[in-house]
Amino acid sequence: MAAQIKIRLPATTKTMKWVGLVTAVWVQAISGNNYTFSNYSDALKTLMNLTQLELNNLSVAKDVGKAFGLVAGLASDAFPTWLLLLIGSIEGLVGYGAQWLVVSKTTSPFPYWVMCIFMCMGGNSTTWMNTAILVTCIRNFRKNRGPVSGILKGYVGLSTAIFTDLCNALFSNGPSEFLMMLSLIPFVICLMAMIFLREVPPSSTASDISEESKYFSWFNIIAVTVAVYLLAYDFVGSKGHVFDIGFSIILLALLATPLIIPTHITLKKWLDSKDKVDVEDHISEPLLAQEAESDALPKEELAAEDTRVKSQPTLGDEHTIIEAFKTVDFWVLFVSFLCGVGTGLTVMNNMGQMGAALGYSDVSMFVSLLSIMGFFGRIISGTVSEYCIKKAAVPRPIFNAASQILIAVGYILMAMAVPGSLYFGSIIVGFCYGVRLAITVPTASELFGLKYYGLIYNILILNLPLGSFLFSGLLAGLLYDAEATVTPSGGNECFGAHCYRLCFLVMAAACIVGCGLDVLMAFRTKVLYRKISFSKRSKTVINVR
């Protein structure tokens, strides 16, 4: 028996949900500061007279900060979003502020171990920001996890280019000014997000879910416009002070453009109310009961889950941390993630020295390319994977497998050191690194649920410091120092393709192993993604009716 039931969020709540997403996008657009080390690493190496291994270990300390993201993951289940953002912003202000004091020569270089602590604080600050953003937004838009993950992670990818190009336009790419921006801008943006970003009830009707997809398309168009604009500036370069000021103003205006979406929603609701238009969704009672169960707020879902008696959850069910650890799937996902992000971080952390080894005096172009192509990898993979799941039940991990093969090709190309290889390598590595991050985030939530998602996400992120230590700190650092010559100041330098050739080849082999693990994951999850695909298609049928 069919019943006429109208279930929709209040207009103010829906508007606040989208305003919150806009502020989340802004936070993500400035929270990729961990990927900007190459922009000021040479200044630190010179001021502190470091060897390449010592410099790489500083970058490892930065990435080790992500290991303490476990604290943020635990806190996300107990504390509100605003508090997580406040902690992250203050920690970033202190961590990057101390580095600015050294690079600007405001103070003498701190002892090496003290610098490691400040680097760690700077790295850890983003785990609080990212955890607050991802957990809140995926719960708010839980029926569009792929697109929302792609958008948020995409802006993280753009953040390096945003910082780099703004600094280049306003301060001629000075490392001290760059660090000043890293310390102050995230602090201000997080204070703004604290006001608007909060957890709200997710959409519960087919029409609302479909409407979300339309608005995400708008977000994608705006984000792609920002990325193309940044890319154009990178290739055109600075044309004078007036040109650079104009570029900066337009860039800030583009970043503010997503506010059009909540403004549109508010205006639409006001007009609907004025004209007394009342649209009702016709949903059968059994389907409504199923939607209410799957779309309830996390707290309600947890209460319902606690009443069920299950010996061992299966993929797609809510998992505790221990239950997730007991599965083969978690560790396959963990190790394959290590192969992709660990090697990608090595390129990002060492781009300054990689460029210098091949004769480039300025590597800001390569840093920006890594960032922009990381954006395209994140936003394209998030949207395409969601479409393929809905239409053909394609397991999301298959996109990780494809990215591992492509990134291995990029490493081999960089090892060959043919003319332009660093450009093409930066494009490929940036794109595939973005795919890896954007795909793994929703995959983890689909496999193990949202009950402990904040903690599970941060456990997977442990791959960043672990991969940085293994591939950047040990592999790249030791191999570079073995090829380098000692300078009179006590540091060392290496010039030529041989400096990183063996490192690239080892990383290519690691990514091939990772590809095999991703194929295995895709095979093991094909039944789960058939169920997810059926659920998404069912909602489309309901909406048409």
Q: Residue 404: pLDDT above 60?
A: yes
- Whether residue 36 contacts residue 160, with contact meaning beta carbons closer than 8 Å, is answered with yes
Q: Residue 398: pLDDT above 90?
A: yes
Beta bridge partners of 283: 3
User: Can you state the angle between helices 11-29 and 206-236, rounded to 10 degrees?
Assistant: 30
Strands 492-493 and 282-284 turn out to be unpaired
- DSSP annotation of 259 reads G
Distance CA 517, CA 444 (A): 15
- Per residue in 1-32, pLDDT (tens digit) is 334 333 444 556 777 888 888 999 999 888 77
Instruction: Give the tokens for residue 122.
Output: 């700077």
Question: What would the 3-class secondary structure string for 47-72 be?
Answer: HHCCCHHHHHHHHHHHHHHHHHHHHH
- Per residue in 464-516, pLDDT (tens digit) is 778 888 888 788 888 888 887 877 666 677 888 888 889 999 999 999 999 99
Among the listed residues 455, 160, 459, 454, the one whose alpha carbon sits nearest the alpha carbon of residue 337: 459
- Per residue in 353-362, pLDDT (tens digit) is 888 888 887 7
Residue 518, pLDDT score? 94
* CA 402 to centroid of chain Cα atoms: 19
Would the pTM count as exceeding 0.75? no
pLDDT band of residue 401 (cuts 50, 70, 90) is very high
Of 432 and 302, the structure prediction assigns the larger pLDDT to 432
Of 309 and 369, the structure prediction assigns the larger pLDDT to 369
- Whether residue 448 contacts residue 69, with contact meaning beta carbons closer than 8 Å, is answered with no
Residue 540, pLDDT score? 53
